[in-house]
Structure 1
Amino acid sequence: MTTIVNKVLELRSSKIATNILWLLFDKGLRMGSGLIIGIWIARYLGPEQFGKLNYGQAFIAIFSAFVSLGLDTTLVKEIVSGEHEKHKLLGTGFLLRLTGAIVALAVVIASSFALDYEADPQSFTIIVILGFSLVFQSVDVVDLYLQAHLKSKISVILKNSALVLSSLFKVYLLLNDYPVSYFAFAILLDIGLAALFLLGYAYKGLAIKIATWKWDTAIARSLMQSSWPLVISALTVIAYMRIDQLMIKNMLGSVSVGNYSAAVRITELFSILPVVITNSMFPSLVNASKDTLLYHSRLAKLYSILIYSSFALAIVTTVLSPIIISLLYGQQYQDAIPVLRIHVWSTVFIFLGVASSQQLVIEGKSKETLYRTILGLTSNIILNIILIPAYGINGVATATLISYAISSFLSNFIFKSTRSINLLYLKAILSVKGRNNA
């Protein structure tokens, strides 16, 4: 019996490892192509136009929470647990996301019209173009189903096919001197093609055919009851990841947004790593949650990986930041160097925040996730108001670092139900030291 159990665990571990490798391949390819073409675009557009494109993406990102509706982790958990019929889960999740996307698009156009149409019509045009990507994001329920079954290989192939085509389109635009609005179309093309490819697979290759998807009011109510705190949490997370760029645009202008975005894009590349690792380990954490010792052991291992990898990335980037910015972006982006030196240390708390949020979902503590992110957002806005006038974009980077520390670490001391997370952080650090000393 023990042999059988061990073989099952080995098989599960191999599936997790394979899934992580495919997701890392996906993110690595996106990082590589995004870095090369993104830098080319940044150099071509210059800080001001590049700032407007990033401002548009930040604006849309804030409203993307209304598309996911906090359902991503909840849907994966429900699919893994098997408590509901999967064709009803997929159908209900898809229609909930599509409804949220349509509402979000209407709000995006209305709010951007009020804020940008007269003052900066070019930014308004970019935002409207990018806004339609919200509708395409509703198709990601297919990706979530594949993720739950550790079959990310399929979605990686489909999404990267779309990436290759959209990248070729961006190269065409660069070679033929197109204006910034066309690059917004290229971003929309990437998301739109990925959605179409996923829909095609759902129609032809998915075990649960798209024709069988059904709406279920009871499941919708259950999903929204468990995920509504995650909706607000996701909104606040995205808001305090992106609100800084909106504040910079309105307080310092598009050039400052361009310099700040150049630095932040490097840090954001690192933030892909905890998402890939945590998402791949999530099904195994759900399955282990009934065994406290096994569950905490797996969590400590996860935190250990994330803590040490984030510190390594932050140290190397801090030392090499002048070389990185000069080599990638050129002399016109020199103001991004001190921003990168500060902002890269937020990766430590981003890594911890991603994993601890998943832990809280598994343990049914979604409200705590909400409270933590509200504290992070509030502190970020207050610190930006104080630091931007005095320190410019360096003050924004400092505000972001402090707010992430508050959200994923310091706030855990406030709530009794989250204090154990900091103990797991400590266990994760000490366990590695213990193994090194052994």
Structure 2
Amino acid sequence: MRRRVAGNLLWMLAERGFQIGIGIAVVAMLARALGPAGFAHFQYAQSIVLIAASFALVCGAEVVVPRLVASPAPATQHALLAHAFVLRLAGGAIGYLLMCAYLGITSPGPEVWHAALWLGIAILLREPFGVVTAWMQSHTNNRPGTLFSLAALAVKAILVGSLFAAGVHKITGYAAAFAIEAIILAVLLTSYYFVRVHDRDFAWQATQARELITSGALFWISFILMMGARRVDQLVLQPAVPPADFGAYAACMQILDNFTMVASILVAGIAPAYVYAKAAYAEAHANIGRIALGIAALGLVGGMAIAGCAPWIVRLLYGNAFDATVTLLRVAAVASTLVFADVALTLLAVYLRRPRWVATKWALVFGATLAFDLIVIPRYGSWGAIAGYALGNGVAVLVGLTLWWRHRPAPEVASI
């Protein structure tokens, strides 16, 4: 059993690592093909889409997987998955309509519209059909899902590479490649599920749907707030600065998004053995502190390395047209250390099963970041956004440290 769990985890980590590598290559080609202004339009559209996509996570894996494990009967599992699919599809439709409403109100250029409409197809596909991934997780069998994800990602990379090699400079073609990735993944997941599950009778039950929504509400709200906090800086910055400046900032954040993903990968590999498996709260609490300190130190070392190599990294990935990204990256890379600490400190809420803590944290981060950005970005542009990025992550770490300290074990318990 341990070997199966370890193998399952390795497949998950391999997928993330491959995604980082391919993601960096794809973004580099996009930046070089579209230039600073075109890349700015693409990244702005992607930020809007990512926020809208969070509405599709009505009942995430945190809600679905434990129920699948507790109910192994195929008919029961299918009914649960069907309800989750419908709810996620409805949430995705709401997110897509909200995205269109936001674009209609803000009236960006046609490039942003075209990119968002294509990229937004993933809102309607990725999370709804992702219920099959949750089904695989409940059977401790992530290998097929990982292979499907990697196959779809490879197709996207080939399409983007072909467009780049052909000298295409239009946003629409590259955005369509992202949509095709989501379509391929949805088809592969659905085909795999239908081949293996034959009892697919389904009757809608409002009670079960309501229970899924209620159970996953805090996780859903937390994810929406998190995505809002992570992307609101770009929504505020885009109308305040020229496209080239926004493109430079977006390029900086794209590098850091890939870098900080390492924190999630490390924590996913460490937490099961050193936190979740600990029955004694005192031991789990102490390990969370050690993990947070170690992960933060690693993030600081990595951030300083990126800051030192910023000119080489930017020119290698994006070319000389993005020289303005170098100075932004030097500061933001060091500030990204806070993300590593926050990811580790979140383990306490997961261990104690306190989703309310996570929702409260992201509400505070979102509110603080939005208020700060609205005041500072119009005056200081990209540097105001960098300061907001540091402030938001600082608030997240402060909340995590406060919860970790306030809920430390009593001295007599810790000494046992």
Q: Which TM-score applies when normalising by structure 2?
A: 0.87
Quick one: which of 83, 98, 101 aligns to 1:92? 83
Matches within 5 A, 1:13-412: 14-69=3-58, 71-80=60-69, 85-116=76-107, 119-137=108-126, 138-178=128-168, 179-205=170-196, 211=200, 215-279=204-268, 288=277, 291-293=280-282, 295-296=284-285, 299-300=288-289, 302-303=291-292, 306-357=295-346, 359-407=348-396, 409-412=397-400
Letter in 2 for 1:177: G
Cα 1:363–1:198 change in 2 (3 A) is: same
Local SS of the residue matching 2:303: helix
- 1:150–1:37 CA distance, 2 compared to 1 (3 A): same
Are residues 347 and 204 of structure 1, via their aligned partners in 2, closer, same or farther at CA, if it must alter by over 3 Å?
Answer: farther
What is the letter of the counterpart of residue 110 of structure 1? A
Instruction: Output the CA distance in 1 between the equivalents of 2:365 and 2:239.
Output: 21
The whole-number CA distance in structure 2 between the counterparts of 1:244 and 1:70 is 27
Name the SS for the 2:309 alignment partner.
Answer: helix
Deviations 1:398-421 (A, max 9, x none): 2111211102x212466xxx2448
CA drift of 1:317 comes to: 1.1
- After superposition, the C-alpha distances for 1:101-132 in whole angstroms (9 at most, x for unaligned) are 1122122222212222xx41221121112222
Distance 2:83 2:287 in 1: 32
Distance 1:45 1:191, change over 3 A: same
Alpha-carbon distance change, 209 to 268 in structure 1, aligned in 2, over 3 angstroms: farther
Partners of 2:313 and 2:237 in 1: how far apart? 23
Q: Distance in 2 between matches of 1:393 and 1:125?
A: 25
Residue 282 of structure 1, CA deviation: 6.6
1:311 maps to amino acid: L
**CA shift for structure 1 position 276:** 3.3
AA of the residue aligned to 1:62: I
Long gaps (5+) in structure 1: 1-10, 425-438
What CA distance in whole angstroms lies between the structure 2 residues aligned with 1:213 and 1:355? Answer: 40
Check 1:114–1:313 CA distance in 2 against 1; reply closer, same or farther (3 A cut): same
CA deviation map 1:303-333 (0-9, x unaligned): 4553343223212112211221122212211
Distance 1:254 1:173 in 2: 23
The amino acid across from 1:111 in the alignment is Y
Letter in 1 for 2:244: V
Deviation track 1:264-294 (CA, whole Å, cap 9, x = no partner) reads: 1111112322333445667668964754356
- TM-score for both structures, normalised by structure 1: 0.83
Deviation at 1:157, TM superposition (A): 0.5
Cα distance in 2 between the residues matched to 1:421 and 1:121: 51
Q: CA deviation at 1:95?
A: 1.6
Say whether the 8 Å CA contact 1:310–1:351 is kept in structure 2. Answer: yes
- AA in 2 matched with 1:115: T
